[in-house]
Amino acid sequence: MTSSTPESYLAEWNQRLLDFEESRHVSLLRRAMRNLVRNRLLLTGTILALLVVGAGLLGPIIIGGDYELINFSNTHATPFTEDALLGTDHLGRDTAIRLFVAIRVSLAVAVGVTGLALVVGLALGTVAGYRGGWSDRSLSGVMDFIWGFPLILVAVLFAGGLGEGLLSVILAVGLVNMAAIARVVRGEVLSLSEREFIEAARAGGLSNGRIIRKHLLPNILAPALVLASYYIAVAIIAEAALSFIGLGAQPPLPSLGQMVAEGRNFLQLNHWETTIPGLTLVLMVLSVSLIGDGLRDVFDPRLRHEAKGVEAT
């Protein structure tokens, strides 16, 4: 130790603490990257997600066309017929183009919902868990109240207030998912707040904001991201479900749920109109779920140790 004054002594310890935290994160990241490659769930999920996202983003550019364009002389075509890669629907619209646009819609909703839920959920959960007292009680009460409502009911309420459409879906699903994330984050923060490194940071005189930014957030981000990956799947399913019942994407803008709903009346005539968007929905949710499971394996030390134990035996 070279410091001579108490202030410089404290500053040096703070710096060493920060360096330690930083090195810990670097090693965590490196380890995570290594696991990304080794983890089969994660790899499979990522490949599937890349395929679906790639189709959504590049599909319309590659094959071109108008998802609204109707053709009464070529309705209910099966895949690979009449110049229609994936067939046509009851109005003669190209299923492939509509599918790719629907994937975009699902992704946009998923990103919108999860972004909203993650940012607000993290903020509220952290404040509630870290500050405690009346902040915790009031925020937790609100979160529990929101979490207690069925998602569909919230969506119906939003649709009633704002009208049917994607905005209502994003706000409704985002609100419920936000409450879920906030509750988990609050629990994590409560646990972390009692840990030594936080105590040390407090003792070191760091401000609450700095402790949250520098010490709490990095530690809760990983579990929050794992949780968010799960809620991406929830958002995709919720959007499809709400569009299926007419509360989500409004025609002619396609969405997977709406395509399934429109196609179900023609199951015996041309099941592809339902099967194709249905399978796409399954693939999207499966890929996100696999990624979530993979991330959990990577970030959760208990599962890592269990895995090691299994390998050892």
What span, in angstroms and rounded, lies between the C-alpha atoms of 88 and 95? Answer: 5
Closest CA to 236 of 192, 184, 177: 177
Regarding 70 and contact with other proteins (CB under 8 A), the answer is: yes
Regarding 64 and contact with other proteins (CB under 8 A), the answer is: no
CB closer to other proteins out of 47 and 69: 69
**Segment near other proteins (CB under 8 A), from 21-29, 63-71, 171-179, 227-235?**
63-71
Q: Which residues contact 109 (CB under 8 A, 6 or more apart)?
A: 166, 169, 170, 173, 235, 236, 239
CB of 90 to other proteins, least distance (A): 6
CB of 264 to other proteins, least distance (A): 6
CB closer to other proteins out of 75 and 219: 75
CB closer to other proteins out of 187 and 246: 246
Eight-class DSSP state of 251:
T
**Segment near other proteins (CB under 8 A), from 1-9, 200-208, 232-240, 248-256?**
248-256
CB closer to other proteins out of 238 and 261: 261
What span, in angstroms and rounded, lies between the C-alpha atoms of 215 and 75? Answer: 59
The only residue of 251, 279, 282, 307 in contact with other proteins, by rule CB under 8 A: 251
Q: Tell which phi-psi region holds residue 70, choosing left (phi > 0), alpha (psi between -120 and 50) or beta.
A: beta
What span, in angstroms and rounded, lies between the C-alpha atoms of 34 and 164? Answer: 45
Regarding 163 and contact with other proteins (CB under 8 A), the answer is: yes
Q: How many binding residues for other proteins (CB under 8 A)?
A: 23
Regarding 269 and contact with other proteins (CB under 8 A), the answer is: yes
CB of 252 to other proteins, least distance (A): 6
**Segment near other proteins (CB under 8 A), from 27-35, 87-95, 100-108, 227-235?**
87-95
DSSP string, 163-227: -SSHHHHHHHHHHHHHHHHHHHHHHHHHHHHTSHHHHHHHHTT--HHHHIIIIIHHHHHHHHHHH
Regarding 92 and contact with other proteins (CB under 8 A), the answer is: yes
What span, in angstroms and rounded, lies between the C-alpha atoms of 219 and 259? Answer: 41
- Determine the 3-state secondary structure of 11 from DSSP: helix
Regarding 91 and contact with other proteins (CB under 8 A), the answer is: yes
> Which residues make up the interface to other proteins (CB under 8 A)?
68-70, 72-73, 75, 90-93, 163-164, 246, 250-252, 262, 264-269
